[in-house]
Amino acid sequence: MSRVYNFSAGPAVLPEEVLKEAADEMLDYNGSGMSVMEMSHRSKEYDDIIKTAEKDLRDLMNIPDNYKVLFLQGGASQQFAMIPMNLMKNGVADYIVTGQWAKKAWQEASKYGKANKIASSEDKTFSYIPDCSDLPIDDNADYVYICENNTIYGTKFKELPNTKGKTLVADVSSCFLSEPVDVTKYGVIYGGVQKNIGPAGVVIVIIREDLITEDVMPGTPTMLQYKIHADADSLYNTPPAYGIYICGKVFKWLKKMGGLEKIKEINEKKAKILYDFLDESKLFKGTVEKKDRSLMNVPFVTGDADMDAKFVAEAKKAGFVNLKGHRSVGGMRASIYNAMPVEGVVALVDFMKKFEAENLK
């Protein structure tokens, strides 16, 4: 069986090298006689796995010592509640709504306090990032929240918002480890791993230590308190052990590739190939303002729903899968995460050129 080119937005493509390593170790990890799936999370073998994963992630992102790295469950969506429960000391937070996930986070936070929507791009179907240089930041805001890369709509913050001294909280699920970041600019940077790092079921939270306190919202469940997990080194309960093991392998793969500077170069190359074609195509067109285009998620349309459906169907037959756009926007979307090889994007563009030649009226 041959591998397809998988353009899924998540769960998404993983490095083939990592999958092969995991397959080789499925029945016997490192001479233990067990699969990691069967291993106690309290064992020395697993302790080495999770500690090495954290160390490699710290190396990749240059995470300062005063930040904790937490491997948690519940996906990014559980953080929509966990963040206000732990951080809303004054009961106020400011949200910049640039897509469906930021909107859901804002709606969830509204259950726990005053969540201000201080900027939005919903007026143009989230096709751009609003100007965030001089926002009406609430004096009492405990934090300012963004979704840094918008998976569904294909937009990306190229500059972080001016939070006027307030703590920045960012969901980076779909751009996690795609380029270097300055962790010190954030109070919390988190993401579900199923888009760019590992299998579904793990969320990684990188949080500044001064934000981890026992002073949480009354009624906050034990499992939703950052301090509980930080004090237990992400082992308060059974963690998503196998998922963390795969994440650790992806961290090793990224280091082997040359780190985040190198992976950014590769990602820029891939995105340029696809965006350059969309800019010159007579059939396909991108849907995002050029200055705000994501390197990871590229939505495009033909302008005709039937033609879009035909393209998705023929692409699938040709080995290009999961190109259908999100149900809320339609059209197509190519997610070209770290593990998508350059040749996959080249092959997709070649297929799009062929489809255009055959279907352009």
The per-residue pLDDT for range 91-131, each reduced to its tens digit, is 999 999 999 999 999 999 999 999 999 999 999 999 999 99
- Residue 83: give the domain boundaries: 16-256
Q: Which of 193, 222, 256 delimits the end of a domain?
A: 256
Residues 277 and 222 in one domain: no
Q: How many domains does the chain have?
A: 2
Residue 4 located in a structural domain: no
Residue 5 located in a structural domain: no
Residues 148 and 224 in one domain: yes
Residues 185 and 212 in one domain: yes
Residue 8 located in a structural domain: no
What is the C-alpha to C-alpha distance for residues 245 and 289, in angstroms, rounded to an integer? 38
Establish whether 101 is a catalytic residue: yes
Residue 56, pLDDT above cutoff 80: yes
Q: Which of 210, 227, 256 delimits the end of a domain?
A: 256
Active-site annotation holder among 94, 142, 171, 292: 171
Mean pLDDT to the nearest integer, 235-254: 98
Q: Which of 256, 286, 312 delimits the end of a domain?
A: 256
Residues 228 and 347 in one domain: no
pTM of the model: 0.96
Other beta carbons within 10 angstroms of residue 23's beta carbon come to: 9
Residues 239 and 303 in one domain: no
Active-site annotation holder among 166, 195, 249, 252: 195
Residue 3 located in a structural domain: no
Residue 6 located in a structural domain: no
pLDDT band at 60 (very low <50, low <70, confident <90, very high): very high
Establish whether 253 is a catalytic residue: no
Residue 1 located in a structural domain: no
Residue 7 located in a structural domain: no
Residues 274 and 172 in one domain: no
Residues 196 and 333 in one domain: no
Residues 103 and 144 in one domain: yes
Residue 289 located in a structural domain: yes
What pLDDT is stored for residue 1 in this prediction?
A: 58
pLDDT band at 172 (very low <50, low <70, confident <90, very high): very high
Residues 90 and 109 in one domain: yes
